Amino acid sequence: MSEQTIVPLVRRASLAPAPQREQALVTPRVLREMLPVPPSVAELVEQSRAEIRAVLRGTDSRLLVVAGPCSVHDAPSALEYARRLASLRDDHADALLVVMRVYIEKPRTRVGWKGFAMDPDLDGSGRVNDGLHRSRELFLAIAGLGLPIATEIVNPMLAPYLEDVVSWVAIGARTTESPLHRELAARLPCPVGFKNGTDGGVDTAVNAVLAARESQTTIAIDDDGRATLARARGNPDCHVVLRGGARPNYSAPDVAAAIARLEAASLAGRLMVDCGHGNARPAGIGQLTAACDVARQIAGGSRGVVGVMIESNIIGGKQTLAPCRAPTAGQSITDACLDLDETAEALAELAGAVRARRGPA
């Protein structure tokens, strides 16, 4: 793929909102009719959800690996990354269940770019209808390659537009304590990972898992965009994701402490580790350290870690948006990522650890 085809147009980098009148969003039903799910993709989604559940429940000995860009800002380069990740996935299919991280919303501590769905042109214009259309189009294209999709849902109102193409959902550190996100998780049709709080505390995530397991009545947006009362059945496949905080929490003692808290709450002692965020010290390259540490735990026989998340892109590191200059294709504009060679190294370490844990064939 030539560079010309994967460099998006960036008009402004200030992210100052463009003056505009209120406009209605396309409804989930209309967007789904415009971009329907092909039978092959629907089959992939259902099968991958079942496989992820099996890993989380300990009945599948593979390791769940969610890998991909910190955030998608350029659909063609995300699709190119997906093609390369699919090749790496095939190398370790016996040991790893690889799901692509396709994040199109970004939570902000203060302000900043809110993600591809909210601002697809990276210029503050807020063309959300276009962003939703392009996001769903990208999800379908990636799933069409045979790669299941993982995403974070920041705004619960956007879930109906995309949830039928998603195999795993993250609730981030800033929203794990939110009742709205816990209610959302209770009604989603796929496994959901709750990250520990930004301070590193695990109890918030444990409480979120407990809350999302319960059936409850919630307010939701239906396929026609109307507010409606919905009955959430409760989601038995919610789990904790360790993502660090003031300090990393991927080490064996941290994992053991988190598992003890889960078991004290009568939950299964299994969790995921996010190698990025507070677990990446220094940022980006520290992910390899975290992944290798987790691999050693797995190779040593630990069955507590059932999944790993890695922020990865075609080009490693990150870049800063600049006025009147298109960003480098395939490189993060948010958190620093591993490049594909580093990603291949991490996957090989993790796959080798899974095989070692299984013992001689």
Q: What was the pLDDT predicted at 326? A: 84
**CA distance to 257, 305, 356, 357, 359, per residue, from 298 (Å):** 16, 7, 8, 6, 12
pLDDT in tens, 114-133: 999 999 999 889 999 999 99
pLDDT at 3 over 80: no
Q: What was the pLDDT predicted at 360? A: 86
Span 234-241, average pLDDT: 98
Q: Check: pTM over 0.85? Answer yes or no.
A: yes
pLDDT in tens, 284-328: 779 999 999 999 999 999 999 999 999 999 999 999 988 778 889
DSSP string over 75-104: HHHHHHHHHHHHHHHHHTTTTEEEEEE---
- CA-nearest of 5, 9, 195 to 103 is 195
Q: How many CA atoms lie within 13 A of 172 on its CB side?
A: 17
Q: Confidence class of residue 21 from pLDDT cuts 50, 70 and 90? A: low
pLDDT at 223 over 50: yes
- CA-nearest of 310, 62, 297 to 53 is 62
Domain ranges of the chain: 24-358
pLDDT at 64 over 50: yes
349 membership: H or E segment, kind and range? helix 340-358
The yes or no reply on domain 24-358 and CATH 3.30.1490.20 is: no
pLDDT at 57 over 60: yes
257 membership: H or E segment, kind and range? helix 252-264
pLDDT in tens, 272-281: 999 999 999 7
pLDDT at 19 over 90: no
Q: What was the pLDDT predicted at 225? A: 93
Q: Confidence class of residue 2 from pLDDT cuts 50, 70 and 90? A: very low
pLDDT in tens, 147-206: 999 999 999 999 999 999 999 999 999 999 999 999 999 999 999 999 999 999 999 999
Q: What was the pLDDT predicted at 20? A: 54
Span 84-100, average pLDDT: 97
Name the more confident of 260 and 123.
260
Average pLDDT, the chain: 92
